[in-house]
Every structure is written in structure tokens, then in C-alpha cells.
Amino acid sequence: MKRQNQSMITEFILIGFSNLGDLQILLFFIFLLVYLTTLTANATIMTVIHLDRALHTPMYFFLFVLSCSETCYTLVIVPKMLTNLLSTAPTISLSGCVAQLYFFVGLACTNCFLIAVMGYDRYVAICNPLNYTLIVSRATCTQLVLASSFCGFLISVVVNVLVFSVPFCSSNRINHFFCDISPVIKLGCTDTNLKEMVIFFLSILVLLVPLVLIFISYVFIVSTILKISSVEGQRKTFATCASHLTVVIVHYGCASFIYLRPTSLYSSDKDRLVAVTYTVITPLLNPLVYTLRNKEVKTALKKVLSRYLLSKTV
């Protein structure tokens, strides 16, 4: 009978925010507004980078790819979450859960590696400017992006196999608003300690290793900046890194809080709040940070808007 119960599960119930009752309607409109703003902001960043030749540099190429990846990332999570907020039966099929976890982990890992690559780009640009175009060539940029995506989705395949090879018990209630690793694997009937250890090791590989490399890069970057004689030169050089540093702190901070700890410490309410940050807020933060704190992007945006308005008046 137990084996029959395990094989009968063909869909999961996403508990999500069901405990909030009528507040779910308010959450729906808030998340919808944030989601539409995120799509608009990322589309604007990609359009501006594509249209302005002054931004056809490795730094903005990586930003373009990151914005594209972040857009796909939100598409995996947010539409289903919005649908479930209005639904009396917030469910997801087993195949849908597998697909959601696969693309979520794959894109999240890709973003982690891309942000590390952007740190390497800043390191070369500031610490070795004379050889910058030679080291960070167009071919190298393409290879780094492809390597980030390949590694991200390869890790996702391993995680999916580990999570969904677990036989599930009769309970199909996921205590989350999407199919995340810990809430799904906790539904397993068998001992999952070994699988969780492997996933924890992969989390270190994805989060801690790139973060350490970024930290080392910034040690060299700061050392080089301090050698610049003029205060204005120091300020301008550091300004090119400020946006990236902000994204690093928010992105790695939220993800580390969730994934660099044992599953036994999973706290549904607190973790749902953090999950909202890195699935809904962070994808919006990236384009806003790079737009508001980056003079080149702001200048390019004004040029594109003025060209668009001028074409409308002609």
C-alpha cells in the first residue's frame, strides 16, 4: 500500500500564502506591479544596450545577458505564483514541478556565475587596462557566457535527479509558493541525508566559490584604485564597480541564507519572505541599480528616449 501511495502522486499543492486569506488579493496586485516593472526595466536595459554603440563593451554585454537571464528567471516563478494567489486550489503537476525546479536552479546558477564573470571583467578593466581588449575579447565573452550557462544547467540536472529520485509519501503539500529544493525533498519517505549533503556541496560550489573569487578580485581592484593619485580618478573608477558590488551583496546574501545551511533548519515563514526577495525583488533591483547608479547607462537611455521622441514628432 505504501508503494502504491508513493506512485499515485501526480501533482503537488503549493501552500504558498494561503494562510494570509484575503490578503492574497493585495499580494497579487503588489507582485503583479513588481513583475511588470521588472519586465519593463530589464527590457529597457537590453534595448538601450542594443541600440547604443557606446555600450557595446564586454561589461554591458554581460549586463545584457544577465538582464535576459533574470527575465527568464522571473518567468519560471512569478506567473505561476500570481495564478495561485487567485486560485482556491493552488496546484502544480509533477512534471510542472520538475520543469520549474530545473529552470529555476539552472537560471539561478547561471546568474551566480555571470555575476562572478562580471567581477572578473571589472578586475581586468581596472588592474590590467592596457591588455583589457585582448584578454576580454568578444570570443572570450561568448565563451564565458556559454560556460556559465552550461555549468548552471548541468548542476540543475544533478539537483533534479537527486530531488525527484526520492520516493514521495502520501503528503503532496509543498510548504512554499514554488517548487524549491528543500520544501520538495522534505516530502520524501526515505533518508535523504546523503542527497542533501551533495546538494549542500553544490551550493558551496555555486555560491561560496564565486563569492570568494569576487572578493579576491575586489582586493586587487581596491589596491589599484588607492594607487590612483587624484581623488576624482579614484571616485570615477570605484563608481564603475559600485553597481556590481550592490548586486553581489543582495544576490549572494539572500541565496546564501537559504541554501548554505542544512535542510533541517528550513523555516517556512521566514524562508518564504527571503524567497520573495530573490525571486521577485532582486530581478527588479539589478536593472534599477545599473540604471540609477551608472552614468553611461543613464546617458544612453536619454539618447534613446530623445531619438524615439524625435521620430514621433517628425
Per-residue pLDDT tens for 224-260?
Answer: 888 888 887 778 777 778 778 888 888 888 888 778 8
Binning pLDDT at 50, 70 and 90, where does residue 313 land?
low
Instruction: State residue 3's pLDDT score.
Output: 47
What class, spelled out in words, does domain 11-301 have in CATH?
mainly alpha
267-285 confidence digits (pLDDT tens): 566 677 788 888 888 888 8
11-34 confidence digits (pLDDT tens): 899 988 877 778 889 999 999 999
* Lowest mean per-residue pLDDT among 13-17, 27-31, 61-65, 299-303: 299-303
Give me the phi and psi of 52, to 5 degrees please. -95, 115
Q: What proportion of the chain, given as a percentage, has pLDDT over 90?
A: 42
> Looking at this protein, which amino acid is placed at residue 263?
T
What value does the mean pLDDT take over residues 139-160? 96
For 196, half-sphere exposure in the C-beta direction (CA atoms, 13 angstrom radius) is 19
Instruction: State residue 18's pLDDT score.
Output: 79
Instruction: State residue 176's pLDDT score.
Output: 87
Which of the pair, 80 or 261, is modelled with greater confidence? 80
What value does the mean pLDDT take over residues 282-310? 76
Instruction: State residue 120's pLDDT score.
Output: 93
Binning pLDDT at 50, 70 and 90, where does residue 5 land?
very low
Instruction: Decide if pLDDT at 64 tops 60.
Output: yes
288 CB-near residues (< 8 Å, 6+ apart): 41
Cell numbers representing residue 190 in the block: 526515505
Cell numbers representing residue 239 in the block: 563608481
Instruction: State residue 76's pLDDT score.
Output: 95
**Model pTM score:** 0.89
Give me the phi and psi of 204, to 5 degrees please. -65, -40
Instruction: State residue 135's pLDDT score.
Output: 93
Query: Based on the number of CB atoms within 10 Å of its own CB, is 97 exposed (0-12), middle (13-18) or buried (19 or more)?
Result: buried
Instruction: State residue 212's pLDDT score.
Output: 93
Binning pLDDT at 50, 70 and 90, where does residue 293 land?
low
Binning pLDDT at 50, 70 and 90, where does residue 157 land?
very high
